[in-house]
Amino acid sequence: MGMVYSTKALLQFDENIFTYTSNHATTQLSAFKGRRKKKINMGGVKRQSSARELKWQNFQAKRSGTVGKKPLPDPTTLKNVFLMLIMHVCRKIVLFETEIKITIYLAALVCGSLVGDFTPVPRSYFSRKNNLFNYYFVKWGWAWTLISVSTFLWLTSYVYCCGNKDKIIKHFYRLLIGTAMWFCMTKFFVIIEAYTVGCMHTKYVTKLSCLSSGSTWKGFDISGHAFLLIYCSLLIAEEGKAIRGWERIGDLIRNEEFDEESPLKNLTEDELEHLKENYNKLTPYVRISFIGLTAFILLWDVMLVATIMYFHSMVQKVVGGVIAILVWYFTYKWWYKQPTSPGLPGQGCFKYCELPPPKKMCAH
């Protein structure tokens, strides 16, 4: 009896366990179906909410730089490679170390003038005062320099000043000061010649009697050509420094959303939009105008050699060259570094000339 009772109890216990398990499984299955049905019914609402949240998260991620990768530069074409090669050569010419260039100018004025004064130099096309380059370019040298530099200055400053008219005009004050310096120095040279003029034979005191006797009536004629050509070359070299780091502006624009330390972070929305819109639009014209600056600086150097070899005495040319160097030093190396000055080329709403070179792609 005891064994029969135990067997029945065991069977009853197993049946209860089976019943409980079945009921529990049925309950869990019903709950799962209910949740799935509810999720399906609300699917349209959740998708709309996710789209808005994803858009906001992407915007925040771009601004904070927490996700994503920096975009790669545009592919380089053969045309761009050729253009960049030309620009590289032009940079080497215009941005040649100024201190070394000044040393070369002074050495050429002294040594070249000695050669021209004491050794017979063969006459050439450049020894004629009415040669094409002297008549149409050197004679109007300051006008040519002013036109070419003004074009380059406007194009570049319109970009790095982000369209700020006051800052752009402030840069043009340098050219106004340069024009005043050129005008005052040329008038000063005329005054010096007038005060030192006389006849080579001292017994003649008037110009008419001096020339009638076959003598020479002249004074200390400071070489205006030496002054003009050296001053124009130095001014072009200084204003051309705005091209330094110009391609970096494109990198700054492309990586602005991913670089927390970007100089563009301090720009307003309007300034940043102006920069993005005009950098790519004006860069081709900036390059063309810079090539023009290179052509003029080469022309002025060639004409300086002609002046050294064929015109004026050594002292007159050295004095003219030294005055040009002093004017350049006073303006670009001292005055324009003062807080109340027009400032130096390339100074605008953000820094790009003084930035270190970009890191290699593997470091990005």
Beta-strand ranges (E) seen in the chain are 198-199, 217-218
At position 244, the amino acid (one-letter code) is R
* From 24, 88, 201, 225, active-site residue: 225
Which is nearest to 94 in space by CA: 289, 325, 332? 289
Say if CB 275 and CB 159 are below 8 A apart.
yes
- Residue in this structure with the two tokens 């008038």, named with its chain if needed: 187
Please confirm, yes or no, whether 312 is among the known catalytic residues.
yes
Cα(78)–Cα(288) distance, integer angstroms: 18
Exposure of 206 in the CB half-sphere (CA atoms within 13 A):
3
* Paired strand residues for 217: 199
Residue 286 structure tokens: 């900036």
Please confirm, yes or no, whether 24 is among the known catalytic residues.
no
Indicate the burial class of 328 (C-beta count within 10 angstroms; 0-12, 13-18, 19 or more).
buried
* From 24, 88, 312, 364, active-site residue: 312
CB burial of 230-266 (b: ≥16 within 10 Å; e: otherwise) equals bbbbbbbbbbbbbbbbbebbebbbbbbbbeeebbbee
Residues designated as active site: 225, 312
